[in-house]
Structures are given as C-alpha cells and as structure tokens.
C-alpha cells in the first residue's frame, strides 16, 4: 500500500496571501523562467473538458490534479485566464462524495463559485472524535481531517466547537516523533505531516498550536534527504513542495534546510517546464516557489501556546476516542504515487 493512500491538496489559505498581487511585484523563491515555464506547461496540458491529468505520467487522479492546478494558476496569474474559467466549470460540474474531494473543491473554488453545499457536507461529516474520514461513517484519519479544517478555514467557518474539536483531533494523533501518519501509531510520513502542519498553520492566529507546529517542523527537517528534497524512498517534487509550503506558512523563521528544498525544486524542473511531467507536481511546485519571501505569514507573532489541548476559551473540550466504521476509499482518491511506485505497477 502506498504511503500516500489518499490525496493531497495544498492549502489555498497560503496562496491567497499573494494571489491578489502581480507576481512581478513579489520577492519570491524562484526567479528567471522557472515560474513562467511552469505556468506555460499547465496552460498547454489542460484537457479539453477543463481538467488536468489522466495521462501516463500523472501521479494523482484527475479531480485532485485539477484542484491543485487551479489553485496554482489563481496564485500566479495576474488575471483570471481562460484556463481558470474552464477549470472552475469542470470542478463545479463534478459529482463528488469523498471528503478530500469535497474539501479540495471548497479550497479551489473559494471566492469564485458557491461552495455552500460542500461546506455543509463537511460540517455534517465531522465525527464525534473531532476528525473526519473519507466518507460519511468512515473512521477519522489525519489527512481527511487536515483537508477539512483547511477548507473550513478558507470558507470562513467560525464555529469554535468545530474548529477546536478538529484541532484537538490532530493534536491527539500527532506521533511522538512530531510527525503524522494516516492513522495514529503508524510510521510518520512527510506527506501526512506536511498536510497536517498546513492545517495548523491556517488556524495558528486563532488557537494555541505553536508547540504542535514546532514538533512537526522538527520532524520534517529531520527527514530531509541529502539532495534537499523530501520523500521516501526518494525525493519527489510534490512532497518537497508540500513540505516547503508547510514551512513557509508556519510563522517561524526559515532555515538553511528550506533553502536546500528550494534549490532542489529549482534544479528538478524539466525542459518542458514541468516537474515530473505531471500537472499535480507542477502545480504544487509553482505554489511553493511563488510563496512571497517577505510575507507576513512568516514573521507574524504566534498565539499563546496550549501545552495540553488546543483551546481558546477556558472550557475544556472532551476528548472522544470512539471511532466509526472502516473507510472505503475510491480508487482515484488514493492519492499521488511516486515514480518508483508507478514503475512497480
């Protein structure tokens, strides 16, 4: 079973920090033609129906690839392009049931199309333990919970109970090494840890999550590969980009380790402008490399630390350990595969 058994989505709350500014006005991580070539690759590889993916080199399913590509274009294009418009129409027309897809649509369509129905679906699916599973009645896991929290934040959901319970779930299932696995107690993975850290980042100015962030940052930096990238058994562009986005949005000083990750991404872009000849990886790399270096998200003051349960009021939140039924994940929701895993079939 792949270590990436679901799918990833970049927190658009990060990209929204600079999506309204022209790229030329920002001091970003990558200069020269890297970003322009990546944009051109996405523009050229969009399918006729407005989606992306479905090719022999695609590392993720069509729906998550399209949400990632739309987020990237919204972040780096100065105006709404035909590519964006076609992607919005494609995503809006899809019937999706799985929580990660519902969350991804909320994130990618925020501000350009109504997401009320999807937000209501997410709110109704929160389990008693505070987390979310892949579908109604499925047991909670770290990835679905991370994506749901990011989506609810993007949608400006202000229910303290919903957000606190969701954050408490993530805090409880953080492994002792500071990372996250899909379910608590399994081996921590960069993929799940980067997504969980982005969820914490999105709510860090409302809740005391800095101690959990610090542990996650320590885990990620300890699992950087010698080439500067992230991934197991080898570095991948999408995991390296996810890790870099998680670092950039944590509100803590960046280190030389992040510089090496940036160099890894810059050095692994292909001649056609892509990363891994894959729209999903290319979209995440563009988001990571176009994150503004001088963004206030990197240096803003952190909220008060909660050393036990995350809270904003003096009322404690009851910890619920009951889980629901086993998950059943659709084939195209299982997430990105590494080139090695693709080769193994």
Q: Output Rg (C-alpha) for the chain, integer angstroms.
A: 18
244 in Cβ contact with 265 (< 8 Å): yes
* pLDDT tens, residue order, the chain (345 aa): 333 334 444 433 343 333 333 433 334 455 558 999 999 999 999 999 999 999 999 999 999 999 999 999 999 999 999 999 999 999 999 999 999 999 999 999 999 999 999 999 999 999 999 999 999 999 999 999 999 999 999 999 999 999 999 999 999 999 999 999 999 999 999 999 999 999 999 999 999 999 999 999 999 999 999 999 999 999 999 999 999 999 999 998 899 999 999 999 999 999 999 999 999 999 999 999 997 654 433 333 333 323 334 433 322 222 222 222 223 333 344 356 443 332 222
- Which ranges constitute the DSSP H helices of the chain? 12-15, 34-45, 62-76, 82-93, 99-109, 116-125, 142-154, 160-173, 190-202, 210-222, 237-248, 256-267, 279-289, 339-344
Tally Cβ neighbours within 10 Å of residue 317: 17
- Write down all domains in the chain, each with its CATH number in brackets: 31-309 (1.50.10.20)
Nearest-angstrom CA–CA distance, 198 and 247: 8
Residue 58: closest CA among 71, 72, 48, 47: 47
The predicted model scores a pTM of 0.81
Tally Cβ neighbours within 10 Å of residue 343: 8
Q: Which residues pair with 234 in a beta bridge?
A: none
Q: DSSP assignment of 45-67, as one string?
A: H--TTS----STT-SS-HHHHHH
């Amino acid at each position: 079973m792949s270590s990436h058994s679901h799918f990833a989505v970049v927190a658009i709350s990060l990209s929204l920090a600079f999506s309204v500014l022209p790229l030329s006005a920002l001091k970003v991580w990558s200069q020269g033609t890297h970003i322009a070539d990546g944009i051109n690759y996405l523009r050229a590889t969009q399918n006729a129906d407005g989606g992306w993916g479905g090719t022999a080199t695609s590392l993720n399913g069509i729906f998550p690839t399209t949400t990632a590509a739309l987020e990237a274009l919204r972040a780096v294009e100065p105006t709404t392009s035909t590519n964006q418009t076609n992607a919005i129409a494609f995503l809006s027309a899809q019937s999706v049931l799985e929580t990660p897809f519902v969350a991804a649509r909320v994130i990618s369509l925020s501000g350009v199309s109504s997401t009320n129905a999807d937000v209501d679906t997410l709110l109704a699916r929160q389990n008693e333990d505070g987390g979310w599973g892949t579908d109604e009645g499925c047991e909670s896991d770290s990835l679905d919970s991370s994506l749901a929290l990011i989506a609810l934040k993007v949608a400006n959901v202000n229910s303290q109970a919903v957000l606190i319970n969701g954050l408490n779930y993530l805090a409880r299932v953080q492994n002792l090494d500071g990372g996250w696995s899909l379910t608590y107690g399994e081996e921590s993975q960069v993929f799940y840890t980067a997504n969980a850290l982005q969820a914490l980042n999105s709510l860090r100015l409302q809740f005391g999550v800095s101690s959990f962030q610090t542990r996650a940052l320590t885990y990620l930096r300890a699992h950087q590969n010698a080439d500067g990238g992230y991934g197991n058994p080898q570095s991948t562009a999408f995991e390296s980009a996810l890790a870099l986005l998680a670092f950039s949005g944590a509100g803590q000083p960046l280190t030389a380790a992040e510089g090496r990750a940036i160099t890894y991404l810059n050095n692994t872009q292909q001649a056609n402008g892509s990363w891994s000849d894959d729209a999903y990886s290319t979209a995440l790399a563009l988001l990571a490399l176009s994150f503004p270096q001088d963004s206030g998200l990197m240096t803003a003051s952190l909220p008060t630390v909660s050393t036990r349960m995350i809270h904003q009021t003096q009322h404690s939140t009851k910890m619920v350990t009951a889980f629901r039924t086993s998950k059943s994940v659709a084939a195209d929701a299982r997430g990105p595969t590494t080139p090695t895993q693709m080769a193994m079939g």
